[in-house]
Amino acid sequence: MNCTNEPKDGKIHIVATTGIIGDILSSSLDSHVVIDVLMKPGVDPHLYKATAGDVTLLLNADIIIHNGLHLEGKMGEVLHKLSEKKVVIAMSEQLPKHRLRYIDGAYDPHLWFDVELWSLALEGILKQIQQNYPKVIQDNADRINQYVEKLHQLDHHVDSMISLIPKERRILITAHDAFGYFGNAYDIQVIGLQGMSTLSDFGMNDLMRIGDLIIDKKVRSIFVEKSIAPRSMEALLHNVQTRGGTVRIGGNLFADALDTPGTKAGTYIGMFEQNVTTIQKALQ
Ligand SMILES: [Zn+2]
């Protein structure tokens, strides 16, 4: 190991912005590292601002890992400044540009909803860590391999669960446009009421347009998201019902944040499994 990179307590301090990033890192790395996560469970990353405590953690970190593509929209300046003196790595930078969704002039940051893509991004991050701290990767090799294999199994599981839904019923309507990669990867049409960031609002036109589609395609269920207030989907429900359509809230999906640690959806894999079960049950 490079002695200039040797931290004082013998551990490499990694700071992840979101819980989803923190979880895949701690699921693959254990020895020699301390992993801290800035955003707490249920927090909306699009709206999150770094606190004074976060800045201290970031300044003391050896490596900072964020999602990129403006997911952490309000942390852009902080991350940019830190990148001048620290190793700051984005998950999105590990992926070839042609694998990213580019919609209405912006890249879609919700990469984790394609398991294969997210796994690829993780492997890219681990390679970068290896360049700076080879012993970390060497001593965690078994753990990394086991986790990557679990992600591979998850990818297959999601595929087979979605394929249980008849093709004409594979329409996933959610509060914001977080599931685009999910739709591409697992062959399901995806519609978000709000745009790719929760900063954008929705209008009467969006309600009417999606309401028409629900009535026309006889969509059975729409979904609320855990980190977003349910009022938008309730407005959509109301729009359809007042026009004689029947649709219900099919469940609560985790989009941009995990549940509290120790619960099923407190990990990336558990969150994904829970979402897919909810979607499959409500649409099949
Ligand atoms: Zn989002």
Domain residue extents for the chain: 9-159, 166-283
CATH topology of domain 9-159: Rossmann fold (3.40.50)
Distance 196 CA to ligand 1 centre (A): 6
Query: Residue 210: CB partners within 8 Å, gap ≥ 6?
Result: 173, 191, 193, 236
Domains 9-159 and 166-283 share a fold: yes
Of 95-99, 192-196, 247-251, give the lowest mean pLDDT range.
192-196
Residue 150 CA to residue 152 CA, distance in Å, equals 5
Mean pLDDT calculated for residue range 50-73 = 96
Distance 25 CA to ligand 1 centre (A): 20
Query: Residue 178: CB partners within 8 Å, gap ≥ 6?
Result: 110, 113, 192, 196, 225, 255, 256
Provide the β-strand partners of residue 87: 63
Tokens describing residue 125 = 């991050």
Structural contact between residues 164 and 284, judged by C-beta atoms closer than 8 angstroms: yes
Residue 106, pLDDT > 60, answer yes
Name all contacts of 149-157 with Cβ < 8 Å and 24+ positions apart: 150/27, 150/269, 151/115, 151/118, 151/119, 151/122, 151/269, 152/119, 154/115, 154/269, 154/272, 154/273, 155/115, 155/116, 155/119, 155/185, 157/273, 157/276
Residue 197, pLDDT > 90, answer no
Distance 59 CA to ligand 1 centre (A): 26
Distance 68 CA to ligand 1 centre (A): 12
At 146 the pLDDT is: 98
Distance 257 CA to ligand 1 centre (A): 9
Distance 227 CA to ligand 1 centre (A): 9
Going by pLDDT thresholds of 50, 70 and 90, the confidence category of residue 202 is: confident
Residue 73, pLDDT > 70, answer yes
Q: Over the stretch 137-175, which tens digit does the pLDDT of each residue have? A: 999 999 999 999 999 999 999 999 999 999 999 999 999
Distance 135 CA to ligand 1 centre (A): 35
Going by pLDDT thresholds of 50, 70 and 90, the confidence category of residue 227 is: confident
Which residue matches tokens 């996933």?
Answer: 172
Which residue matches tokens 């990694």?
Answer: 14
CATH 3.40.50.620 fits 166-283, yes or no: no
Distance 142 CA to ligand 1 centre (A): 32
Distance 4 CA to ligand 1 centre (A): 38
Distance 201 CA to ligand 1 centre (A): 13
At 18 the pLDDT is: 98
Distance 77 CA to ligand 1 centre (A): 19
* Mean of pLDDT over the chain: 94
Distance 7 CA to ligand 1 centre (A): 35
Distance 264 CA to ligand 1 centre (A): 21
